Amino acid sequence: MNERPAFEPALVQEVATLLARAQRIAFITGAGISAESGLPTYRGVGGLYNDMTIDEGLPIEDILSGDTFRRDPALTWKYLFEIERACRGARPNAAHAIIADLQHRHEVCVITQNVDGFHVEAGSRDVIEIHGRLRELLCTQCGKRRSHRHFDAMDLPPRCMACGGILRPDVVLFGEMLPLRAVARYELALQRGFDLVFAIGTTAGFPYIYEPVATSARAGVPTIEINPDLTPLSSLVAYRFASGAGAALRAITAPDA
């Protein structure tokens, strides 16, 4: 049986009080929130790859780029298949479930770098998947979309059953622009503002992840980081839990348990 980390009681109680009083809450999440689902905290496309063995002698950033996909889609898909297999069988964890449950008492907006789809699968409704979702496939020719639970038995590269065009995952590859619809939702959410901002399991390496937390902190909005590692946000936030996401969120949402 896992024991709850020994958080400072005053820290837990203060953040729990802020949470109880907040109306509109942002959860900005990265790969670390999915670690308890069995996914490694990879540093790449939505947090789903690490130092993979590359047979072609190219950096993984080049292989998983928009340029390479257009030039040699089979090469990009070879490693997308590997990424998908590494994620096979993983499911949302307690942290995803707690965030989803909070929307019954608060207005909750989730902004995530992750492409695993776990926030939506856990039941969160207002989710901005800024990097897309790995198992949502899009035909590059006719635009038809379809979801896949796994990539087994697919051709290399996979093709659209409707028109024969090459499929691609609906994710942001290296060198590509963020999806316009997600950006529009993101900007609208920031314009409306938040009463409380959580940054969970993210290294905040992208400006669109770092800036909402930094801007909120400068404006006096309470900000909380949950991350076992120090990040560029660590010195900016008002409160910090040096732990995994599930343990900290359980403590905050049930401080007397």
The model carries a pTM of 0.90
Tell me what the mean pLDDT of segment 140-163 comes to: 88
Residue 87 in this model has a pLDDT that exceeds 80: no
Instruction: Tell me the two tokens of residue 171.
Output: 């994710």
Q: How confident is the model at residue 177 (pLDDT cuts 50, 70, 90)?
A: very high
Q: Give the model's pLDDT for residue 40.
A: 63
The answer as to whether 105 is a domain residue is yes
- Using the predicted structure, report yes or no on whether residue 101 has a pLDDT greater than 80: yes
CATH number at residue 79: 3.30.1600.10
Please tell me the total count of domains within the chain.
2
CATH of the domain at 229: 3.40.50.1220
Q: Is the peptide bond before 158 cis (omega within 30 degrees of 0)?
A: no
Positions annotated as catalytic residues are 131
Instruction: Report how far residue 45's alpha carbon sits from residue 205's, in angstroms, rounded to the nearest whole number.
Output: 12
Q: What percent of the chain has pLDDT over 70?
A: 91
**Residues 154 and 141 reside in one and the same domain:** yes
pLDDT at position 75: 94
Shared domain for 184 and 159, answered yes or no, is no
The predicted pLDDT at position 123 comes to 97
For residues 136-151, give the mean pLDDT. Answer: 89
Of the three residues 121, 146, 171, the one that is the final residue of a domain is 171
On whether the CB atoms of residues 6 and 65 are closer than 8 A, the answer is no
pLDDT tens digits for range 37-55: 887 655 444 444 554 556 6
Structural domain range at position 52: 40-89+134-171
Residues 156 and 71 in one domain: yes
